[in-house]
Amino acid sequence: MIVHMSQSATSEQIEQVTERIRALNRRPHVRRGERTVIGVPGLGDGGRQELEALRAAPGVESVRPPEHPYPLAGRLPGQGRTVVEAGGVRFGGGEVVVIAGPCSVESREQLSETARAVAAAGASMLRGGAYKPRTSPYDFQGLGLEALGLLREAGAETGLPVVTEVLSTEDVEVVAEFADVLQVGARNMQNFALLRRLASAPRPVLLKRGPSATVREWLLAAEYLLSGGNADVILCERGIKTFETETRNTLDLAGLALARELSHLPVIADPSHATGRRSLVPAASRAAVAAGADGLMVEVHPRPERALSDGPQSLDLEGFAALMRGLRAPLPPVARRAELKESYQEEAGELV
């Protein structure tokens, strides 16, 4: 439910309303503006009547279900883009943030070598998996706490802030201690218990799109974070599941553009998981940036053929440097007609 305060509502009245909401064991989300709006996440029948009774409270104009399906993640007409700052890096500010690193942290040497190389090539943030969500219980599950320490070490060495995935509510606290950004993996996009816990974490959240999530479902997952109190959400398109088997997933760049149209939040792309093929990562990266991506998340490994996970989609160090050079190259030119008739050349002058 959404409580709309009247234009003349006082701070005191707002405070009273939020207190009554808290007394119902709900966490109010206050958005101040010309008219203050207070979001109240999901309510069972138990509290609904009490909440609706707030209509009679001083300063309250209305209590009603949200008109917009995701009032906090959604973008109002004319609204600008939100900049999310994480470890000194700004997402959504008009520059392309490149996050790079290995799929899994495997050893101090592997991570340090990768971190130094991607920093040198121009990456702004380091990624690396400590807790790995693996389809099979018999696959490498990550080094856990040890990896978190190595990530912090490599981050300190190179000046790169660190992003890593958190798999479980129990791990949120410890991961938040070590990492600058907490990643929600694609398969956890609708792990609502995890989203609720991260909504009160003291770190920005990188929310990957689920492999079968519509853009709408993705933004509603972000709404769980925002309505729960964490305003620092970065969205990440990483490919969706389709009938096509020659790429690991299908990179949905029109979906990325749509997410940026419907939401004010920054949106980045993960070309590595989206394609699953090293040779396609540079083209996919350039395409994502051209589609408006606020950043990229790229898997890099010093020796991809020996990686414990996701080797086929990881760039080697030189491959990553080449990708970075490619991001600075201009788009190819548009072909011209062999001969323009004079009359059109004039019009062309007006229109183009």
Residues from 132 through 161 that contact its own copies (CB under 8 A): 133-144, 146, 158-160
Binding part of the chain for its own copies, among 5-13, 55-63, 173-181, 215-223 by CB under 8 A, reads 215-223
Among 3, 5, 21, 89, contact with its own copies (rule: CB under 8 A): 89
User: Residue 32: is it exposed, middle or buried by C-beta count within 10 angstroms (0-12/13-18/19+)?
Assistant: exposed
Evaluate whether 151 touches 126 at the Cβ level (below 8 Å). yes
Q: Residue 274 CB, nearest distance to its own copies (Å)?
A: 6
- Binding of its own copies by 216 (CB under 8 A): yes
Q: Residue 303, interface with its own copies (CB under 8 A)? A: no
Q: How far is the CB of 292 from its own copies (least distance, A)?
A: 5
Contacts of 147 (CB under 8 A, 6+ apart): 104, 105, 128, 129, 130, 131, 164
Instruction: Select from 30, 169, 231, 264 the one that contacts its own copies (CB under 8 A).
Output: 169
Phi, psi for 129 (deg, rounded to 5): -90, 125
**100, 119, 151, 198: which one binds its own copies (CB under 8 A):** 119
Cβ neighbors of 174 (< 8 A, separation 6 or more) are: 145, 148
C-alpha–C-alpha distance, residues 77 and 301, integer Å: 42
Find the binder of its own copies among 86, 179, 224, 272 (CB under 8 A).
224
d(CA 198, CA 179): 13
Residues between 267 and 286 that touch its own copies (CB under 8 A): 271, 274-275, 277, 279-280, 283-284, 286
Segment near its own copies (CB under 8 A), from 55-63, 200-208, 297-305, 335-343?
A: 335-343
- Taking CB under 8 A as the rule, does residue 337 contact its own copies? yes
E strand or H helix at 268 = strand 267-269
250 contributes a contact to its own copies by CB under 8 A: yes
Q: What is the C-alpha to C-alpha distance for residues 313 and 274, in angstroms, rounded to an integer?
A: 9
Q: Which of 107, 113, 311, 312 binds its own copies (CB under 8 A)?
A: 107
